[in-house]
Structure 1
Amino acid sequence: MTDLSLTPALWASLAIVVGSTLQRLSGTGVGLVVTPVLSLILGPVAGVLMTNATTTVSGFTIMLSVRDRVQWRKAAVVVATALPGAVLGALLVLVLPTAWLQIGIGLLVLIALVLTVTTPRLPHLDSKVALPVTGLIGGMLNTTAGVAAPAMVIAARLTRWDQRAFAATLQPIFMSMGLFSVLTKSVLGATGQPQLPPWWLVPVVIGLVLGGVGLGTLLESRVNPLQARTLALVIAGLGGLAAMVKGLSAVT
């Protein structure tokens, strides 16, 4: 993870800034945008790990500005069941070959996007049932592929979750899922690295996220949240397709 040449490092930095900006504008963006880009640059294991770290920082940072709209009880339910999902995801990362993990990341991103965009109006489901299941699935997906947002979007549709409160509540959920993913993979040795990244990457990621969040704050009155979400989906789709092609080429 530390042997980045200048050009890949710039692309990775740009992905983090753009993802953080879109997340500030629409509630989601970091996982969808950053995961496929970083998995192409750093490899599937290290790329998702870096995405998880970025999501932790971005979720915490954005949460501070929308904390008055966060529905903390719902967030707690999702977070509580995300931990066992993260453990299961880390075990999958530990045993899956790199090429197949790359294919899986690309495929999961593309499937998630299709479900997010094309899922019709779903029947109403009580949040007491939907949210714990969503936390488990989201925790696993976040750890293996860095994308928990589509699972959360489907849960929001099932429970008729108010969009404004939902977007705010996602932030502590993403922060916690990202942290769980980093910790479980570090403890189980599923980081793809013989040792943890150098300490200086932490302030660099924090700085990039803060820059993206600040840019999103400046653009908030000028950019429609739907436009920001659409852009995030387009970027994620292209990145997911590229990640899957790269994985397939390594297998064949």
Structure 2
Amino acid sequence: MTTELLFLPMGVALGAVTQRVTGVGFALVAAPLLVLVAGPFDGVILANLLSLVVCVVVLARTWRDVDWGRGLLLVVPALLAIPVGAYVARTVPGPVLLLVIGSIVLVALALVQLSARARILHGTAGAVTAGAASGFMNVTAGVGGPAIVLYAVSTRWEHRRFVATFQLYAALVNTASLLSKGRPHLGASAILLSLGALAVGLAAGELVSRRVPAEQARRLVVLLAMAGALATVVKGLLAL
């Protein structure tokens, strides 16, 4: 219970601040900590649920900049990949899933770090690849953003349009992920604690976004997410 009271609100609040400051990154920061607290299945469901709330809030402020055509081009392959990822999430043993989730986040972080030189996703084929990879990763690990970020960098997508479109994309993909897996088996107190931390994080992010440069915020995202992902891998190894 002590772990839940500490890491659950901390992960959610930090993720919300990150999302508000950079436009992406809630799941990268929050998902590893949520998995540590709630387990690989319920933790990812909770990450999907909270990500959905965050995206809807940010989308309400940015919807005028949404690139609807490109957003739908990413959403369709993501939705097709989600049932496969949901099956994997249901059938793979817990310790193995912890290792998979932690490893996926680490690989995703490496891709984002290298994305300035890895302009590999172009045109329709690149969008389909990014969407499918993102959908699978979202439902299994709760982190669908890195694949879309890699596509955005590869195509030199204007940041303002990317941030707005990503909120629409992530809202639809998280909704589909939740429908494919159901509600988390968590107590009402844990969910209410998470929602409260989410509200605090979004409010804090509003203030932080006026003071912290985006590049500095991005570095912090990577450090926090890497720490959470490594802890998840260690937990999976110990459970084995």
TM-score for both structures, normalised by structure 1: 0.88
Residue in structure 1 matching 2:17, options 2, 8, 21: 21
Q: In the TM superposition, what is the alpha-carbon distance from 1:126 to its structure 2 partner?
A: 4.0
- Identify which range, 135-144 or 169-178, moves more after superposition: 169-178
Query: Unpaired runs of 5+ in structure 1?
Result: none
Matching residue of 1:212: 201
Structure 1 residues 201 and 247: CA distance shift in structure 2, 3 A: closer
Measured in 1, the distance between the counterparts of 2:76 and 2:188 equals 29
Matching residue of 1:242: 231
Measured in 2, the distance between the counterparts of 1:146 and 1:84 equals 16
Matching residue of 2:82: 86
Measured in 1, the distance between the counterparts of 2:26 and 2:113 equals 18
Matched, 1:139 2:128: no
Matching residue of 2:94: 98
Measured in 1, the distance between the counterparts of 2:119 and 2:11 equals 35
Contact 1:21/1:216 (8 A) holds in 2: yes
Matching residue of 1:150: 146
Matching residue of 2:35: 39
Matching residue of 2:113: 117
Amino acid at match of 2:97: L
Q: In the TM superposition, what is the alpha-carbon distance from 1:198 to its structure 2 partner?
A: 5.5
Q: In the TM superposition, what is the alpha-carbon distance from 1:176 to its structure 2 partner?
A: 1.5
Q: In the TM superposition, what is the alpha-carbon distance from 1:121 to its structure 2 partner?
A: 2.5
Measured in 1, the distance between the counterparts of 2:68 and 2:5 equals 36
Amino acid at match of 2:9: S
Amino acid at match of 2:75: V
Amino acid at match of 2:208: L
Contact 2:15/2:201 (8 A) holds in 1: yes
Contact 1:124/1:160 (8 A) holds in 2: no
Amino acid at match of 1:225: A
Q: In the TM superposition, what is the alpha-carbon distance from 1:205 to its structure 2 partner?
A: 4.0
Q: In the TM superposition, what is the alpha-carbon distance from 1:174 to its structure 2 partner?
A: 1.5
Q: In the TM superposition, what is the alpha-carbon distance from 1:29 to its structure 2 partner?
A: 1.8
1:120-156 per-residue CA deviation (whole Å, 9 max, x = no partner) reads 5344754322222211110110000111111011111
Contact 2:102/2:233 (8 A) holds in 1: yes
Give me the identity figure in percent. Answer: 32
Contact 2:152/2:162 (8 A) holds in 1: yes
Measured in 2, the distance between the counterparts of 1:172 and 1:12 equals 25
- Identify which range, 116-125 or 221-230, moves more after superposition: 116-125
Matching residue of 1:49: 45
Contact 2:115/2:154 (8 A) holds in 1: no
Residue in structure 1 matching 2:212, options 208, 223, 245: 223
Amino acid at match of 2:110: V
Contact 2:121/2:127 (8 A) holds in 1: no
Amino acid at match of 2:135: G
Measured in 1, the distance between the counterparts of 2:79 and 2:188 equals 25
TM-score for both structures, normalised by structure 2: 0.92
Q: In the TM superposition, what is the alpha-carbon distance from 1:6 to its structure 2 partner?
A: 4.5
Query: Unpaired runs of 5+ in structure 2?
Result: none
Q: In the TM superposition, what is the alpha-carbon distance from 1:231 to its structure 2 partner?
A: 0.8
Q: Secondary structure at the match of 2:211?
A: coil
Measured in 2, the distance between the counterparts of 1:71 and 1:199 equals 37
Contact 2:18/2:24 (8 A) holds in 1: yes
Matching residue of 1:74: 70
Structure 1 residues 245 and 199: CA distance shift in structure 2, 3 A: closer
